[in-house]
Amino acid sequence: MESIVITGAGGMVGHALAEAIQRRGQTATAQDRARCDLAHSADIERLFSEHRPTLLFNCAAHTKVDLCEDEPEKADAINGHAVGRLAQLAREHGTYLVHYSTDFVFDGKSAQPYRPNDAVNPISAYGRSKLLGETELQRNAPEKWLIIRTAWVYGRHGVCFPRIMVERAKGGHALKVVSDEIGSPTFTDDLADATLALVDRGATGMVHVTNSGSVNRYDFARAAVEEFGVQAHVSPITTAEWLQIRPKQARRPAYSVLDCSAYEKLTGKRMRPWREALRAYRQSVDSAGGF
């Protein structure tokens, strides 16, 4: 009998994944941080002893990028070492382990989309902790494992970039947004569906998944307020200028577009363009009664 477990079920990706599984008529055991805190090894042990997962989606992470700069040990514990322990127990229990990683493992110096086997070089504490998780998982790898790197994730269940931009615009704030960081925004609903498509095919190894196309953060902010029909003054600013305003912020890759061709070959599907996904996000927010 299949036992599907989601860690980090209280977050954006975990919520979307649980909903996608439910739409299929299946049931997943949702473990939020209150039920399973990856910072506590006893919680990880209990997760396996009580639920004996055959399929485990690890959506748990310390995702506050700027805070990770002040809490690198905590970030390494949750995003790194805990993932290694999950992998060890998954190996012992014959669990198919699916783990999410990030574009932040790259330094942003590429001129073309990053492939899964391209050299990594994180430039932030968050990126280093997520790379540690990738390394620990592969060092303790179960028979079946999948790492999905994604980027610029947003969704209904949590605070995210489009929501922040729209709410600040609604509050009458002028928005200054960096224009020299380029990536691929990814809607959690699409990421969840893509994850299940990969699992259906028994995919293993490292795979990149984002919505298709790319955009800079300034134009992404403009698209978000436009999509939600909010009047706003949005002005571009360079990363260097922004760091003068917020000097304690983590460094982010200037270019972190991911090459998703492996996903397309494995599934025969292509992720929809980021702007279409943003529209779907707005529609889902509206149908839920707003933020």
128-183 pLDDT per residue, tens: 999 999 999 999 999 999 999 999 999 999 999 999 999 999 999 999 999 999 99
Kindly state the percentage of the chain with pLDDT values over 70. Answer: 100
Q: Is 52 left (phi over 0), alpha (psi -120 to 50) or beta?
A: left
CB 141 within 8 A of CB 93: no
Instruction: Determine which one of 126, 154, 263, 281 is catalytic.
Output: 126
What is the arithmetic mean of pLDDT over 100-117? 97
**Lookup: tokens for 161:** 């970039």
Each residue's pLDDT tens digit, 198-243: 999 999 999 999 999 999 999 999 999 999 999 999 999 999 999 9
Burial (Cβ within 10 Å: 0-12, 13-18, ≥19) of residue 287: exposed
Residue 220 in domain: no
Residue 242 in domain: no
In this prediction, residue 289 carries a pLDDT of: 87
Q: In 152-250, which residue ranges form alpha helices assigned H by DSSP?
A: 161-170, 188-200, 217-227, 239-245
Q: Is the dihedral of CA 7, 271, 123, 106 positive or negative?
A: positive
**Lookup: tokens for 3:** 């036992």
Residue 46 in domain: yes
Distance CA 107, CA 256 (A): 8
- DSSP label at residue 242: H
Q: Is the predicted pLDDT of residue 248 greater than 90, yes or no? A: no
In this prediction, residue 166 carries a pLDDT of: 97
Split into its structural domains, the chain has a count of 1
Distance CA 132, CA 90 (A): 18
In this prediction, residue 290 carries a pLDDT of: 86
All residues at 6 or more sequence positions from 98 whose CB lies less than 8 Å from its CB, including other chains: 55, 56, 57, 58, 145, 146, 148, 195, 198, 199
Structural domain of 78: 4-159+187-211+257-272
Is residue 96 annotated as a catalytic residue, yes or no? Answer: no
In this prediction, residue 188 carries a pLDDT of: 98
The average confidence (pLDDT) of the chain is 96
Each residue's pLDDT tens digit, 11-63: 999 999 999 999 999 999 999 999 999 999 999 999 999 999 999 999 999 99
In this prediction, residue 240 carries a pLDDT of: 94
Residue 164 in domain: no
Q: What is the CATH number of the domain that holds 22?
A: 3.40.50.720
In this prediction, residue 291 carries a pLDDT of: 85
Enter the pTM of the model. Answer: 0.97
Kindly state the percentage of the chain with pLDDT values over 90. Answer: 96
Residue 81 in domain: yes
Angle at CA of residue 38, ends 32 and 44, nearest 5°: 95
Distance CA 281, CA 276 (A): 9
In this prediction, residue 1 carries a pLDDT of: 74
Each residue's pLDDT tens digit, 274-291: 999 999 999 999 998 888
Please compute Rg for the chain using Cα positions. 18
Residue 106 in domain: yes
In this prediction, residue 82 carries a pLDDT of: 97
Residue 231 in domain: no
Residue 166 in domain: no
